[in-house]
C-alpha cells in the first residue's frame, strides 16, 4: 500500500507492487508524509538490507516549520510540548494567554449581580483553557439572565475533568435559549466522535 500517511485511515492508499511504490514516491516533488505500508508481518528471510535514515530527514514539529514564527493561540499550541510554557511566556498570544490568575478571574465572576456579561464571557473564555476548574463558583452562571454567558459557561466547563460537569451540562441542555442548547449538543457530539486516545 502506498500513499500519504493520513490516507491509510480513509482506505485511500493504492495497493501496488513494491517497485511501483518506489517509482511513485521517487517521482514526487515533495514526498514528505508519504509511506509504503505492508499490511502483514515481514518474515526474517525477506529482509535483505537495513539502512539507517539520516537524522536530517523529516521535521521536528511540522513541515516547513523552520524559520516560521510559532503560533501560541489556544488552537495551535500543544499541551505539554517541549518548551511550550517558555514559548507562551516569550510569545504571548493577544487573545489566548497567558491567562490571568484564577483568583482574579473569580473576582470578576463574583463582581456584581448579575454582573457585566462581557466581563463574565471573557472570564469564562480563560477558564475554558484549563483542564479543571472551580465548578462550584461558576455553576451559578447557569441561571444568568444573559444567554451568551450561559453559552460561554458550556464551552468553558465542557473539557474539564472536574466532577459535576456532566450534571451541569444536563441542566443546560434544557435551556430556554437555542444557542445554549446547541452548544451542549455540540460539545457532547465532539466527545462522542473523539478518538479513544483523546478521551483517555
From residue 171, give the alpha-carbon distance in Å to each of 25, 32, 190.
54, 48, 18
* Residue 1 and residue 39 in contact, taking contact as beta carbons nearer than 8 Å: yes
What does pLDDT average to over the chain? Answer: 86
Residues 6+ apart with CB under 8 A from 27: none
Sorted by where each begins, the domain ranges of the chain are 1-59, 69-98, 102-199
Distance CA 119, CA 172 (A): 21
What pLDDT score does 59 carry?
Answer: 67
* Residue 170 and residue 188 in contact, taking contact as beta carbons nearer than 8 Å: no
- The arithmetic mean of pLDDT across residues 168-196, rounded, is 86
pLDDT reading at 183 higher than 90? yes
pLDDT tens sequence across 51-102:
887 777 666 667 777 788 888 887 787 777 778 888 888 888 877 767 788 9
Amino acid at each position: 500500500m502506498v500513499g500519504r500517511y493520513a490516507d491509510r485511515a480513509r482506505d485511500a492508499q493504492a495497493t501496488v507492487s513494491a517497485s511501483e511504490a518506489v517509482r511513485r514516491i521517487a517521482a514526487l516533488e515533495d514526498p514528505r508524509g508519504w509511506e509504503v505500508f505492508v499490511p502483514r508481518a515481514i518474515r526474517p528471510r525477506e529482509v535483505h538490507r537495513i539502512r539507517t535514515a539520516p537524522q536530517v530527514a523529516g521535521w521536528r514539529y511540522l513541515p516547513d516549520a523552520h524559520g516560521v514564527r510559532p503560533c501560541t493561540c489556544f488552537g495551535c499550541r500543544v499541551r505539554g510540548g517541549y518548551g511550550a510554557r517558555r514559548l507562551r511566556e516569550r510569545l504571548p498570544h493577544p487573545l489566548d494567554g497567558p491567562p490571568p490568575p484564577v483568583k482574579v478571574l473569580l473576582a470578576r465572576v463574583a463582581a456584581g449581580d448579575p454582573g457585566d456579561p462581557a466581563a463574565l464571557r471573557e472570564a469564562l473564555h480563560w477558564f475554558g483553557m484549563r483542564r479543571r476548574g472551580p465548578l462550584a463558583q461558576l455553576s451559578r452562571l447557569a441561571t444568568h439572565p444573559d444567554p451568551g454567558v450561559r453559552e460561554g459557561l458550556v464551552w468553558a466547563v465542557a473539557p474539564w475533568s472536574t466532577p459535576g460537569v456532566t450534571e451541569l451540562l444536563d441542566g443546560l441542555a434544557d435551556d430556554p435559549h437555542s444557542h445554549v442548547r446547541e452548544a451542549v449538543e455540540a460539545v457532547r457530539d465532539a466527545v462522542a466522535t473523539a478518538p479513544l486516545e483523546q478521551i483517555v
